[in-house]
Amino acid sequence: MLYGMCHMINKLEKIVSLCKRRGFIFPGSEIYGGLRGTWDYGPLGSELKFNLKQAWWDYMVKQRESVFGVNASILMNPKVWEASGHVASFTDPLIECKTCNERFRADKPTDIKEHEEMHAQKKEKIFWTEPKQFNILVEAKLGVIEGEKSTIYLRGEITQGVHVNFKNVVDSMHPKIPFGVAQIGKAFRNEITPRNFVFRSREFEQMEMQTYVKPDEKEAMAMFNIMKDLRMKWYLALGVNKNKLRFREHAPDERAHYARAAWDIEYETPWGWDEAEGIHHRGDWDLSRHSKFSGEDLSYFDQETKERFIPWVIETSAGVERPLLYFLLDAYCEEEDRVVLKLHPKLSPYKAAVFPLLKNKPELVEKARNIYLSLRSDLNVAWDDRGNIGKRYYSQDEIGTILTATIDFQTLKDGTVTIRDRDTKEQIRAKSDDLGTIIRGRIDGNDFASFK
Ligand code: GAP
């Protein structure tokens, strides 16, 4: 099949369709007609998501000194959200179309224009209500006595789980300032307009690092710049096209209630430049507010300078789903005769696929099964014996499998297999015993050709 140039929005539709067809991402609660703003990750999507989070954790936590991880509860005492300012200020401006009662964010002109055009096409007049602030915290009820259940909130950002544990981390780990506390986990927002596939959902995951620094503007901004640089390098290290990435500084009226300075890393999506993640200077907002509201002293004693102070916070806050979508968009290529996901090998759901040349030759199948099972001890490897080899190649290319190994009659004689590279389609003949090393080499960045 020959593919022509396609419109960029079309690319998003193609990704959505590929994700559904190949088991990456499904609409949430689909058999009941769905639930707007929720998505379920299928067999390949959950692998991709896991690999992405692992790549973040390795880069931000494991490879860096003075960074600690936590895993806090999603359900928290509701006072947390009063202290953090979310009950009062976690709002988006909402407007309603008086013609059809659909609600929109007043700060998203593209969505509004699209809606106005839809009514204009039907020759309908449109009137908007005045913008009003709409709180996007998701409420839940907790307790067992009917009528006495208390209202709590599903966390609107994972951040507060770190700050309320500041004292616990300091008392148990005795870190020297500056130090970081990282967390990955779910967050929930009652988004007015979920859209663009997983880009804006009502349930999503975040990967965050809160770095505690001395309350000094120079030190804080130095850390801010280190974090900006570090976060951009993460996307580049995972192979994202650098021309599709940029920084954007938030204007003062755009910043969240806690932020003194904020920059986004943006990706050029099919619908324009949009946010991947944010780097925020939160000052002493969180620890001061939690000290005040809880009555606990959340200051830090610096053993070196013998000073006591409330640290400031520099935060890096990434979603999981937005980078995941951008990695997919960036990796998606239509070539003359195939669709290929050129995902970074660390992210690929399957690191390799093993094929017996013929499904009806037991000696080939047995050899191939043995190779497949031995690789599976520490690598996620697929088995495929359906259709001809060409079809199997293209099926694996479409889901980003890095290498395929075909077991044929020569394998039975000399133990060699044909290994094909996803990106170049190049094939080499190598010992099946070396397969694990070759695959690991590709994951760690070695050139395929060096194994010849
Ligand atoms: N703790 C700071 C914080 O939560 P944010 O800019 O509101 O900051 C950080 O969110 C990141 O979380 C965003 O850059 C984005 O990647 C992700 N995110 C936020 N809202 C989202 C949504 N509705 N759907 C998917 N991801 C979202």
- Ligand 1 close to Cβ of residue 39 (< 6 A): no
- Ligand 1 close to Cβ of residue 282 (< 6 A): no
Identify the three-state secondary structure at position 188. Answer: strand
- Residue whose structure tokens are 């900006």: 228
- For the sheet containing 91-96, what is the strand order? 103-105, 91-96, 132-135
pLDDT at 336: 92
Identify the three-state secondary structure at position 45. Answer: helix
The band of 445, judged by pLDDT with boundaries at 50, 70 and 90, is confident
- Ligand 1 close to Cβ of residue 275 (< 6 A): yes
**Residue of 317, 320, 324, 325 best suited for mutating to test ligand 1, as the one with most atoms within 8 Å of CB:** 317
The residue-averaged pLDDT of 162-174 equals: 98
Identify the three-state secondary structure at position 78. Answer: coil
Integer Cα distance of 262 and 279 in angstroms = 6
The residue-averaged pLDDT of 24-49 equals: 98
Ligand 1 centre from 40 Cα, in Å? Answer: 18
pLDDT at 6: 43
Ligand 1 centre from 280 Cα, in Å? Answer: 12
- Ligand 1 close to Cβ of residue 321 (< 6 A): yes
- Ligand 1 close to Cβ of residue 84 (< 6 A): no
Q: Is residue 452 pLDDT above 80, yes or no?
A: no
Tens of pLDDT, residue by residue over 240-252, are: 999 999 999 999 9
- Ligand 1 close to Cβ of residue 400 (< 6 A): no
- Ligand 1 close to Cβ of residue 206 (< 6 A): yes
Q: Are 41 and 24 a contacting pair, CB within 8 Å?
A: yes
Q: CA dist 423 to 191, 289, 339, 447, Å?
A: 38, 52, 11, 11
Integer Cα distance of 394 and 392 in angstroms = 5
The band of 148, judged by pLDDT with boundaries at 50, 70 and 90, is confident
Helix spans in 36-78 (H): 43-57
- Residue whose structure tokens are 């239509």: 334
Q: Is residue 392 pLDDT above 80, yes or no?
A: yes
pTM, entire model: 0.94
Q: Is residue 7 pLDDT above 80, yes or no?
A: no
Q: Which two tokens stand for residue 70?
A: 């936590």
Ligand 1 centre from 249 Cα, in Å? Answer: 16
Ligand 1 centre from 73 Cα, in Å? Answer: 18
- Ligand 1 close to Cβ of residue 265 (< 6 A): no
Integer Cα distance of 50 and 353 in angstroms = 19
Tens of pLDDT, residue by residue over 289-309, are: 999 999 999 999 999 999 999
Q: Which two tokens stand for residue 376?
A: 């599976």
Percent of the chain past pLDDT 70, that is, above it, reads 97
Ligand 1 centre from 259 Cα, in Å? Answer: 14
Q: Is residue 104 pLDDT above 50, yes or no?
A: yes
| CA proximity to 49, closest of 343, 246, 442 | 343
- Ligand 1 close to Cβ of residue 281 (< 6 A): no
pLDDT at 147: 80
Q: Is residue 432 pLDDT above 80, yes or no?
A: yes
- Ligand 1 close to Cβ of residue 159 (< 6 A): yes
Integer Cα distance of 106 and 93 in angstroms = 5
**Beta strand 179-188 with 332-335: parallel, antiparallel or unpaired?**
unpaired
Within 8 A by CB and 6+ apart from 436, the residues are: 374, 375, 378, 379
- Ligand 1 close to Cβ of residue 316 (< 6 A): no
Q: CA dist 439 to 45, 50, 173, 308, 414, Å?
A: 21, 19, 38, 52, 20
Classify each residue of 150-189 as buried b or exposed e, where b means 16 or more C-beta atoms within 10 Å of its C-beta: eebbbbbbbbbbbbbbbbebbeeeebebbbbbbbbbebbb
Backbone phi, then psi, for 139, in 5-degree steps?
A: -90, 150
Q: Are 364 and 408 a contacting pair, CB within 8 Å?
A: yes
- Ligand 1 close to Cβ of residue 90 (< 6 A): no
Ligand 1 centre from 258 Cα, in Å? Answer: 14
